[in-house]
Amino acid sequence: MAFEHASFIKSPYPFQKEYTKQDPAPLYRKVFQISGRILSAQASVCGLGYGYWWLNERAVSEDLFTSAVSDYRKTLWYHTYDVTHLLQTGTNVVAAMLGNGFYNESLDSPWNLKDASWRDQPKLIFELRVETDQGPLVIGSDDSWKCTNQGPVYYHQLHNGEYYDSRRYIPGWNGAAFDDSQWPSAVLDPTPPAGVLRPCLCEPIREMAAFPAKSVVRTPRGTWLFDIGQNISGYVRLLISQDRGDEIVIRYAEQIKEDLSLEHNHMDEFYPTSEFETDRFICSGREESWSPKFAYHGFRYVELEGVRGTPGREMVTGIFVHQAIREISGFRCSDERLNQLDRLGRISTYSNLFYMPTDCPTREKLGWTNDAQASANQMLMNFDIEKLFEKWMTDIIDSIGEDHSLPGIVPTSGWGYGCGPVADGILFELPWKVWVFTGNRGPLDQAYPHFRPYLEYLLSHCGGEEFHGYSSTDGFPGLGLGDWAGPFPDMGNGPTPVWFVGTAFYLHLCEIAEKAARLEQDPEGEAYFSEKYRQMREKFLNKVLTPEGRCVIHEQTAVALLIDFRLYDRLEPLKDQLVQTVEEHDCHHYCGMVGLRHLYYALDACGRQDLCLKIITAKGYPGYMEWLEQDATTLWETWQPYNSKNHHMYSDVLFWLIKSLAGISPDFEQPGFRHIEITPYIAEELTWCEAWRQTASGRLHCRWEREGKKADLYLTVPEGIAAKVVLSNASFTDGASCREVQPGRHHFALQTV
């Protein structure tokens, strides 16, 4: 049993609950002896909020920002490492540096993290189990450990930055020879965290890439501005050699203004009491290389204040930090703009993988569920993200309120309940899609018992009741967010009503719940969800469809939801209406984050992939191509020219490129890529297109090349996969549009329509 011989410990210094710029990161150490020959050793540790660990002056791992964020009242994630190679017979020392992280935020912000009930000074629980030829040895954290707050990190808050005084560095502090007799003892935590200790099995956060500065210029204010050429999540690697006591102020930003000042797009206004995206480094007089340990930022530009002389570009390197999750798919085509869009979306996703899918690495660093719900297909197609989603699914379950509501951010300290199914649907969609893409039913089994209580909660907010500023109409769910962040005068209030969006999502979630009940062999649940779906669908269609079968709300989002969720009796009237709503906006989208991820698939269902491609490549506002023309290197939060410039919310287009243009997608009825339909769209605008996806059976690859009305299709289907080619705007030479394909390599000559 983990931590059977260990206790949570913390520093003996008073806890400072209110915000202060003297907020040091404590250092801990413990000397111990090992007799006999070491056979194996394993260390388990949970540090709150974040911690770093050493054995005999060597880092236990390269992991960053552990332990993983959570609702610390429910779950405490711990990590386990093989440390056999770090120990020696005789004297050893374990050392730690702890920081506030998500656990102890003192900043004022709209999300009320400073009011979290769990807040306290950083603490840890550590257990080392050693097997020797003389028997086992266990070293646990207790009040025999020593602690000091006189280390070099004298201020740190995750959401703004870290201040480091190199003059305070203590040589050899994490080594066995160091004299710690003047350090006070750590104290046993009298009110240890209430959460259950659980092993964190997903990939760690690591330094994943380095971006050397491409340029450095002097600003009118006398500071130096470095451009690394790519918007990323992470921090700088500062190479500095200046006089002892010199302070270097390091400011980060995603954009700059014409006068070379930093453009924060009003995001800094969310943290009025602190310096936004700022680190500080006080020099020791030595040449030093430094990066923060307890803060990360979203940035492309770095401004340095306090530099003597003219710096070279080597002074600043941007370090890309994110979850060490591998890519498992690729996309390329003859239109370099689409390739660039694919790259932007992948970097935006990576920039927001920090033990949860965050919204942005700048302003919030929070696990917004509506963003993740919008991007789940893309993430599961492009990344080996299954373990991270399993971890986050536990956090989602932990967040469910006593009334069965969910918050818009997970984890939360209590803020964000009442966002409605646009966000809460993550409880249904995430485990269902993990099942579809991977065949892993664990998250679905975990979530299923909460499906019915949540849907009943959602139904309890119908009938004209006002809730969180929104109202529902005629007994339809009208709770929470609607078609958020569209190109509307008020981006939070789209022209498709909240009750329409909420009801469409309610029906969609009922459908997922019914399928899950079938998998769970729960016939009573299956019948319940089926009946609820039938009742609401009949009532909804009676309200929203004209006798001619058109939607009474003539908006892209409304019509797209009816089509993509198959909430219709006749497709043709809605197909004509959807095309009309697109053409009325000159083949630009006029919808928010909800509508956009359903618009493309609704057009697919209508056989109008050509319109999808026109929308994606349309020039001007609002559109992806406008972002590219404005030198975007990641996807933005909004079409309007403000807010975050590194969001994954609109990245579902990457899934469309692989699924609908290249033709690779999972079968939503047969999980884990055991069966697939290859459905390429041979676009007139392209001369070639290809994609690949790694599956449990091997790499699946599809490429098509077009010349005039003729095309060639090349497939590689791994053993163990049953595949079918289904063509929408082309045919095989025998005139057929559908063909079963055996494993192996294939080449088919096609004739386009």
pLDDT in tens, 226-283: 999 999 999 999 999 999 999 999 999 999 999 999 999 999 999 988 999 999 999 9
Q: Are 495 and 555 in contact (CB under 8 A)?
A: yes
The answer to which of 230-244, 276-290, 331-345, 492-506 has the lowest mean pLDDT is: 492-506
pLDDT of residue 163 exceeding 60, the answer is yes
Q: Which amino acid is at 663?
A: G
Evaluate the omega torsion of the peptide bond into residue 411 and state whether it is cis, within 30 degrees of 0.
yes
pLDDT of residue 463 exceeding 80, the answer is no
DSSP labels, 76-107: EEEEEEE-GGG--SEEEEEEEEEE-TTTS--S
Instruction: Identify the pLDDT of residue 501.
Output: 96
Give the closest residue to 461 by CA, choosing from 452, 469, 472, 453.
472
Q: Are 208 and 130 in contact (CB under 8 A)?
A: no
Torsion angles phi and psi, residue 123, rounded to 5: -150, 165
pLDDT of residue 36 exceeding 80, the answer is yes
Q: Are 279 and 248 in contact (CB under 8 A)?
A: no
356-to-69, 70, 170, 361, 743 alpha-carbon distances in Å: 8, 9, 34, 12, 36
pLDDT in tens, 396-431: 999 999 999 999 999 999 999 999 999 999 999 999
Q: What is the mean pLDDT of the chain?
A: 96
pLDDT in tens, 664-686: 999 878 899 999 999 999 999 99
Q: What is the mean pLDDT of residues 31-59?
A: 97
Helical packing angle, 369-382 and 593-605, nearest 10°: 40
Q: Are 436 and 676 in contact (CB under 8 A)?
A: no
Give the closest residue to 157 by CA, choosing from 281, 49, 310.
49
543-to-553, 577, 726 alpha-carbon distances in Å: 10, 17, 36
Could you report how far apart the first and last alpha carbons of the chain are, in Å?
65
What percent of the chain is modeled with pLDDT above 90?
94
Q: Are 185 and 145 in contact (CB under 8 A)?
A: yes
Instruction: Identify the pLDDT of residue 472.
Output: 58
295: CB partners within 8 A, 6+ apart = 156, 157, 158, 159, 160, 161, 162, 235, 279
pTM summary value: 0.96
Q: What is the mean pLDDT of residues 194-223?
A: 97
